[in-house]
A and B are shown apart, each in its own frame.
Chain A
Amino acid sequence: AQTVTQSQPEMSVQEAETVTLSCTYDTSESDYYLFWYKQPPSRQMILVIRQEAYKQQNATENRFSVNFQKAAKSFSLKISDSQLGDAAMYFCAYRAYGNKLVFGAGTILRVKS
């Protein structure tokens, strides 16, 4: 069974600085998709970034980028120039066949001003 592990229950970052959230996953599949979602206090899940496993290039969306290491089954999220609005719970998610997302336990990100 596929599993997703987020080893950092909570992280803090100073405004304008950079933070990296870790995620590892376990799968025997070769073709899959990885996502980072953000869940602010409103509880609305918002897509942050997506990565296709067959692409070697790391995905980037403005201040958000990933470090995808397929052999190591690692998918970390880097947030640059952190802003107060980045404070939220961040979930790493894996998707293979079918439309089922498998989520990690989440990392609470706190941004200090």
Chain B
Amino acid sequence: KAGVTQTPRYLIKTRGQQVTLSCSPISGHRSVSWYQQTPGQGLQFLFEYFSETQRNKGNFPGRFSGRQFSNSRSEMNVSTLELGDSALYLCASSLGRRGETQYFGPGTRLLVL
């Protein structure tokens, strides 16, 4: 099976812009979770989608949002970008059952100037 894919891999934006990141899970996986990785804060959970519904949410401002489509692909949107949003954004997919292993994509590196 193909692994988790994320597009784009690299992105440069300026403050105030918005950005949309995409994640395609492993075939058959219905859960997609998003994480932000920064040198200062480490890996932090953003949110999880399962069957097109947000099932869990981390402590991030409302500028961070997401959605999931019927084919389980997920998008994450960040509006009004700030310098501090520069990070590696990782998505992970799983079958969605409790305790299932999450498999990660290669990440999207976002740089906000």
Contacts and interface: CB of A to CB of B under 8 A. Distances in A.
B98 A97 contact: yes
B31 A106 contact: no
A99 B96 contact: yes
A71 B43 CA distance: 26
A102 interface: yes
A44 interface: yes
A101 B45 contact: yes
Interface residues of A, number: 23
Contacts, number: 54
Given A44-B106, A50-B101, A52-B99, A103 B43 contact: yes
A100 B102 CA distance: 10
Given A95-B99, A101-B35, 12 more contacts: A43-B106, A43-B109, A45-B92, A45-B104, A98-B48, A99-B33, A99-B94, A100-B58, A101-B33, A101-B45, A101-B102, A106-B42
11 contacts: A35-B101, A42-B106, A43-B88, A43-B109, A52-B99, A98-B55, A99-B96, A100-B48, A101-B33, A101-B102, A103-B42
